[in-house]
Structure 1
Amino acid sequence: MPLHLPKHFPAIERLKQENILVERGEEETAHGQVKPIKIAVLNLMPTKLQTETDILRLLSASPLDIEVAWMRLRSHTPTHVPAAHMDAYYHYFGELVSQSFDGLIVTGAPVEHLNFEEVDYWDELTQIFSWARTSLKSTLYICWAAQAGLYFHERIHKYALPKKMFGIFPQRVLHPEVPIFRGFDDVFCMPHSRHTEIRKEDILQHPELTLLAESEECGVSMCMTAGGKEIFITGHMEYAPDTLDQEYHRDAGKRDDVDLPRHYYRDDNPAKGPLVTWRAHAHLLFTNWMNEYLR
Structure 2
Amino acid sequence: MPLNLQKNLPAIELLKKENIFVMDSLRASEQDIRPLRMVVLNLMPLKITTETDFIRLLSNSPLQIELDFLKISCHTPKNTPIEHMEEFYKDFETIANDYYDGMIITGAPVELMEYEDVNYWNEVTQIFNWAHTHVTSTLYICWAAQAGLYHFHGVPKYELPAKMFGVFKHTLNDASNPIFRGFDDEFFVPHSRHTEIRKEDILNVPELTLLSESSESGVYMVMARGGREFFITGHSEYSPNTLNEEYLRDVAKGMDIEVPRNYYRNDDPAQGPLVRWRGHANLLFTNWLNYFVYQETPYNIEDIKNLGNL
Q: Distance in 2 between matches of 1:19 and 1:81?
A: 25
1:210-259 Cα offsets, whole Å, 9 max, x none, are 00111111110111102111100001000000000000000111225211
In structure 2, the residue matched to 1:221 is: 220
Structure 2: runs of 5 or more not aligned? 295-310
| Mapping for residues 191-230 of structure 1, pairs under 5 Å | 191-230=190-229
Distance across 2 between alignment mates of 1:134 and 1:165: 33
CA deviation string 1:40-93 (max 9, x = no partner): 000000011100000000001111111110001112111111000000000001
Partner of 1:13: 13
Once the 2 structures are TM-superposed, how far is the Cα of residue 265 of structure 1 from its aligned partner?
Answer: 0.2
Identity %: 56
Q: Which amino acid aligns with 1:185?
A: D
Code of the aligned partner of 2:55: L
CA distance in 1, matches of 2:195, 2:278: 24
TM-score, structure 2 length as denominator? Answer: 0.93
Give the superposed CA RMSD. Answer: 0.9
The one-letter code of the counterpart of 2:7 is K
1:103-252 correspondence to structure 2 within 5 Å = 103-252=102-251
> For residues 100 and 256 of structure 1, what CA distance do their matches in structure 2 show?
43
Cα separation, 2, equivalents of 1:99 and 1:57: 25
CA distance in 1, matches of 2:86, 2:256: 39
Q: Which residue does 2:265 correspond to in 1?
A: 266
Give CA deviations for 1:129-174 in whole Å, capped at 9, x if unaligned.
Answer: 0011111111000000000000001010100000000000000111
Give, in whole Å, the separation in 1 of the partners of 2:45 and 2:273: 23
Q: CA deviation at 1:36?
A: 0.6
Matched, 1:37 2:42: no
Give the TM-score normalised by structure 1.
Answer: 0.98
**Runs of at least 5 residues in structure 1 that lack an aligned partner in the other structure:** none
Structure 1's consecutive aligned runs of 4 or more residues displaced over 3 angstroms after TM superposition are none
Mapped to 2, the partners of 1:80 and 1:256 lie a distance apart of: 20
Q: Deviations over 1:77-121 (max 9, x none)?
A: 111110000000000011112223101100000001110000000
**SS of residue in 1 equivalent to 2:168:** strand
CA distance in 2, matches of 1:74, 1:244: 29
Asked if structure 1 preserves the Cα contact closer than 8 Å seen for 2:98 and 2:134, the reply is: no
SS in structure 1 opposite 2:100? coil
Q: What is the CA–CA distance in structure 1 between the aligned matches of 2:226 and 2:291, rounded to whole Å?
A: 10
Question: What SS does the corresponding residue of 1:166 show, helix, strand or coil?
Answer: strand
* 1:45 alignment partner AA: M
Contact 1:116 1:148 in 2 (8 A): yes
